[in-house]
Amino acid sequence: MKYGYISLYFSHWILTHLQTANSKLEEQEVEKQELMKLVKENEKNILELAAMRQELDIVGMVHKFCSLEMEAEAKVAIAILQLKIKELECLLADSNNKVKELEASFESKCQSWTMKEKIYQSFIDFQFEAMQKLRSSSEAIKQEVLETQKRYSFEFNHLESKLKAVTDAAGNYHEVLKENHKLFSELQDLKGNIRIYCQIRLFLPGQTVKLSTIENISENGQLVIANPSKPGKDGQRSFKFNKIFGPDATQGEVFADIQPFVKSVVNGYNVCIFAYGQTGSGKTYTMTGPTGATEEEWGVNYLVLNHLFKVSQDRKSNTVYEVAVQMVEIYNEQVRDLLSSDAVPEACMHPVISTSDVLDLMDIGFKNRAVSATALNARSSRSHSIVTVHVRGRNVKTGTVLYGNLHLIDLAGSERVDRSEVTGHRLREAQHINKSLSSLGDVIFALAKKSPHVPYRNSKLTQVLQSSLGGQAKTIMLVQLNPDATSFSESMSTLKFAERVSGVELGAAQSSKEEKDVRELLEQMASLKDKIAEKDEEIRRLKSLRDLKPRIPQQQQLYHKFDMGKLCSSAFLHFRLQTDHQRLDLQKPTQGLKALRTDSTQPSTSVRKSLSSTSISPFPRR
Ligand SMILES: Nc1ncnc2c1ncn2[C@@H]1O[C@H](COP(=O)(O)OP(=O)(O)OP(=O)(O)O)[C@@H](O)[C@H]1O
C-alpha cells in the first residue's frame, strides 16, 4: 500500500511533470512558431530595408542632381537679377532725371500759366467793360429800332395805296410791251428785211506789203474803194450798206448789230445770216471764230446761240423754249449732214440746252467738214456750211406756240474762176458755186422786188433756205472784204453783188417819208423804254421795301394785305419767261425733231408752212 501510494504519487508526479513538460513543449512550440514568424518577418523587413535603401540611394542621387541643377539655375537667376538690378538702377537714374526735368518744366509752365492767367484776367476785365458798353449801346439801338419801326409803319401805310397804283400801271405794262414788240417789228420792216453789213478784214501778220484798196469808211455805212492801178478819183467807187465794220471791229461789235434779229427768232420769226466773200476774206472767222477761240473771239454762230439761251432764260417764267440744231454742208449741189455719219433722208436735229452743247456739236460739225477738206483739197472753201437753229416757244399761260428758225451760213468762196485756166473737178466746183451764189442773189432780188416768181429751185442752197428767205423772214448779209490791193477785182465783184442785193430794198427804205417814220418810231420806242425803266425802278423799290418785312414783325399783317399775286401776274413779271429744256432728250437727237413736229398744239398757218417746208425736208435721200 505504501508502495502503492508511492507509485501513485510518482505516477501522479510524473504525470504532473509530463503535463508540465507537455505544456512547456506546447509553449515552446508556440514560441518556436512565433520565432519562425519573427524570423520570416525579420527577413521580410531586411528585404524591405534593402529596397528602401536602394530607393534612398536613388532619391539621394536625384536629390543631388536636382540640387546641382537648382544651384546652376540659381546662379543664372542671380546673374539675371543682377543685370535687372543694374537696369533698374539705370531706369531709376533716368526717371530721377526726368522727374527733375518735369519739375523744371512744371515750374516754367506754372510761371507761364500764372502769366496767362493774369493776361486772361485783364482780358476778361476788358470784355466785361466792353459788354457793359454794348449793353448800354444796345439799349440805344433798341430805342432807335422802335423809332424806325414807327417810321416804317408810317411808310407802309402809304405803300398799299402806292402798290395799288403800280398794279394798275403794271396791267398796262403788258400792253406797252406788246406795242413795243410791234414797233420793233415795224421798225425792222421799215429798215428792210435785208440788212447788209460789210466787214473789212485786217492784214494778216505774215503780209509784208500792206497796200489797201479801202479809201474811206463812213459812220453812215458808206465805203469808198480805190483801184490801185487807177490813182485818183477815177479809180474810186463808192458803196452804201447798212453798216461798215473796219479791220479793228471786234466779234462782239459785229454781233451787237445782229443781236436784235436773234430776239426776233424767239418771237417766232425766221432769220438768215450769210457770210459772203472771196476765199480768205474772213467768212469763217466771223461766223465761227479762230480755232480754239476764247469767249471774246467767239464767232456769230456761238454768240447768237448764247444770246438765244440768255433770252429764253430771261423769259422762262412765261415761255418754255426748246432749241434744236442742225448742221449741213452743200458741196457740188449735194447736201451732207455734218453731225451724223448715218445716211438718213433728213439732217439730224440735235436738241441743245446750253451754249456748251452747241460748242460740242459745232466742234463735231467743223471736224467733219475739216476731214473732207483735207481729203478733197480745201473743200471747205468751196462748200456752203449751214447751221440751222430751230426754236419752239410755248407760252405757259395761253398755250400759244411760236416757231422761229435761224440759218447761219458760211458761204463758199465767191471768187470767180478763169474757165481757161481750170478744168475737170475744179471747174465743176466753180460752176456749182457760181450757180448757187447767183441763184441766191436772184432769190433775194426777186423777194426785194416782190416779184410773184421767186426762183428758189435753181440751186440746192436756195431750196434749203426757202422758208427762211421769203415772207416775214429777215436776212443779214455779212459781206467780207480782203483789203489787199491784189484782191481789188474780187472785192469789186463782192461789193457789186452786195449792192445788187441791198440796193433795191434800201432804196425803198430810204425814202424821206419812211425815214421820218423811222425817226418817229425810234422816238416813240425811246419814250416807251423810259417809261418801262421808270416802272421797273418803282417795282424794284417797292419789292425791296417788301423784303424788309421779316425783320419787322409788327408789319406782317399789313404786308400780307398786298396782293403779290396780282403783281406777279402783272406785265412786269410777264416778261420773265420760262425755259424748260429738259423736255428734249439729248440721248436721242431725232426725238427733238419729232417732238417739234408731233406737238398737238397747231401752229399758225404761216408757221406750219415754214415748219413743214423746213430747210431739212428738201434734202435728197442718199
Ligand atoms: N477779224 C479777223 N481778225 C483776225 N484774223 C482774221 C480776221 N478775219 C479773218 N482772219 C484770218 O484770216 C484768215 C482767213 O480767214 P477765214 O478762213 O475766215 O476766211 P474765209 O473767207 O472763211 O476763207 P474760206 O473761204 O477759205 O473758208 C484766217 O487765218 C483768219 O484767222
The pLDDT tens digits for 534-583 are: 777 777 777 777 665 444 444 333 333 333 333 322 222 222 222 223 22
Could you identify the residue written with the cell 440768255?
310
Q: Among 4-8, 216-220, 385-389, which stretch is predicted with the lowest mean pLDDT? A: 4-8
pLDDT, the chain, mean? 78
277 assigned to a ligand binding site: yes
With bands split at pLDDT 50, 70 and 90, how would you rate the model's confidence at 517? Answer: low
Report the percent of the chain where pLDDT is more than 70. 75
Residue 341: inside a domain, yes or no? yes
Mean pLDDT (whole number) for 602-608: 30
With bands split at pLDDT 50, 70 and 90, how would you rate the model's confidence at 586? Answer: very low
With bands split at pLDDT 50, 70 and 90, how would you rate the model's confidence at 263? Answer: confident
3-state helix, strand, coil in the chain (%, to 5): 65, 15, 25
Closest residue by Cα to atom 15, ligand 1, is: 282
Do the Cβ atoms of 401 and 392 come closer than 8 Å?
Answer: yes
Which one of 254, 279, 284 would you pick to mutate in the ligand 1 pocket, going by the greatest count of ligand atoms within 8 A of its CB? 284
Q: Which residues contact 369 (CB under 8 A, 6 or more apart)?
A: 329, 338, 379, 380, 383, 385
pLDDT at 593 over 50: no
pLDDT at 504 over 80: no
Q: What pTM did the predictor assign?
A: 0.57
Please tell me the distance between residue 280's alpha carbon and the centre of ligand 1 in angstroms.
5
Closest residue by Cα to atom 16, ligand 1, is: 282
Classify each residue of 265-304 as buried b or exposed e, where b means 16 or more C-beta atoms within 10 Å of its C-beta: bbebbbbbbbbbbbbbbbbbbbbbbeeeeeeebbbbbbbb
Q: Among 33-37, 45-49, 471-475, 521-525, which stretch is predicted with the lowest mean pLDDT? A: 521-525
pLDDT at 168 over 80: no
Q: What is the ipTM of this complex?
A: 0.97
pLDDT at 18 over 50: yes
Please tell me the distance between residue 290's alpha carbon and the centre of ligand 1 in angstroms.
8
C-alpha 274, offset from chain centre: 31
With bands split at pLDDT 50, 70 and 90, how would you rate the model's confidence at 501? Answer: confident
How many domains would you assign to the chain? 1
Residue 20: inside a domain, yes or no? no
Do the Cβ atoms of 616 and 388 come closer than 8 Å?
Answer: yes
Q: Among 229-243, 439-453, 460-474, 524-538, which stretch is predicted with the lowest mean pLDDT? A: 524-538
Please tell me the distance between residue 336's alpha carbon and the centre of ligand 1 in angstroms.
23
Residue 245 identity: F
With bands split at pLDDT 50, 70 and 90, how would you rate the model's confidence at 601? Answer: very low
Which one of 250, 278, 285 would you pick to mutate in the ligand 1 pocket, going by the greatest count of ligand atoms within 8 A of its CB? 285
Q: From CA 393, how far away is CA 317, in angstroms rounded?
A: 12
- If one compares 65 and 262, the residue with the highest pLDDT of the two is 65
Mean pLDDT (whole number) for 489-496: 93
Residue 21: inside a domain, yes or no? no
pLDDT tens column, 172-199: 666 666 666 666 655 555 556 788 999 9
Please tell me the distance between residue 282's alpha carbon and the centre of ligand 1 in angstroms.
3
Mean pLDDT (whole number) for 44-67: 93
pLDDT at 178: 65
pLDDT at 153: 78
Residue 501: inside a domain, yes or no? yes
Closest CA to 167 of 528, 531, 527, 538: 538
Q: From CA 306, how far away is CA 303, in angstroms rounded?
A: 5
Please tell me the distance between residue 283's alpha carbon and the centre of ligand 1 in angstroms.
6
Report the percent of the chain where pLDDT is more than 90. 39
- If one compares 193 and 216, the residue with the highest pLDDT of the two is 216
The terminus-to-terminus CA distance of the chain in angstroms comes to: 188
- If one compares 504 and 326, the residue with the highest pLDDT of the two is 326
Judged by DSSP in three states, 5 sits in: helix
pLDDT at 59: 93
122 assigned to a ligand binding site: no
Residue 563 identity: D
Q: From CA 439, how far away is CA 453, in angstroms rounded?
A: 13
Residue 144: inside a domain, yes or no? no
Residue 260: inside a domain, yes or no? yes
Do the Cβ atoms of 315 and 267 come closer than 8 Å?
Answer: no
> Which of 246-255, 468-477, 493-502, 507-516 has maximum average pLDDT?
246-255
With bands split at pLDDT 50, 70 and 90, how would you rate the model's confidence at 45? Answer: very high
- Which range of residues forms the domain containing residue 475? 192-510+607-612
Do the Cβ atoms of 418 and 426 come closer than 8 Å?
Answer: no
Residue 574 identity: H
pLDDT tens column, 352-368: 998 888 888 888 888 88
Do the Cβ atoms of 477 and 196 come closer than 8 Å?
Answer: yes
pLDDT at 391: 93
529 assigned to a ligand binding site: no
Phi, psi of 600 (to 5 degrees): -70, -25
Q: Which residues contact 349 (CB under 8 A, 6 or more apart)?
A: 324, 325, 326, 390, 589, 590, 592, 593, 596, 616
Question: What CATH number is attached to the domain comprising 469?
Answer: 3.40.850.10
pLDDT at 594: 32
283 assigned to a ligand binding site: yes
pLDDT tens column, 223-261: 999 998 888 888 899 999 999 999 999 999 999 999 888
With bands split at pLDDT 50, 70 and 90, how would you rate the model's confidence at 526? Answer: low
Residue 282: inside a domain, yes or no? yes
Closest CA to 393 of 268, 303, 272: 268
Q: From CA 435, how far away is CA 293, in angstroms rounded?
A: 33
pLDDT at 467: 77
pLDDT tens column, 104-149: 999 999 999 999 999 999 999 999 999 999 999 888 888 888 888 8
Which one of 197, 199, 201 would you pick to mutate in the ligand 1 pocket, going by the greatest count of ligand atoms within 8 A of its CB? 201
CA angle 177, 179, 185 (to 5 degrees): 105
Residue 354: inside a domain, yes or no? yes
Pairing of strands 384-395, 350-352: unpaired
Please tell me the distance between residue 387's alpha carbon and the centre of ligand 1 in angstroms.
18
pLDDT tens column, 301-347: 999 999 999 988 888 888 999 999 999 999 989 998 999 877 676 78
Ligand 1 site, CB within 6 A: 201-202, 204, 277, 279-285, 290, 380-381, 413, 480
Closest residue by Cα to atom 4, ligand 1, is: 202
Q: From CA 407, how far away is CA 440, in angstroms rounded?
A: 14
Q: From CA 571, how far away is CA 569, in angstroms rounded?
A: 7
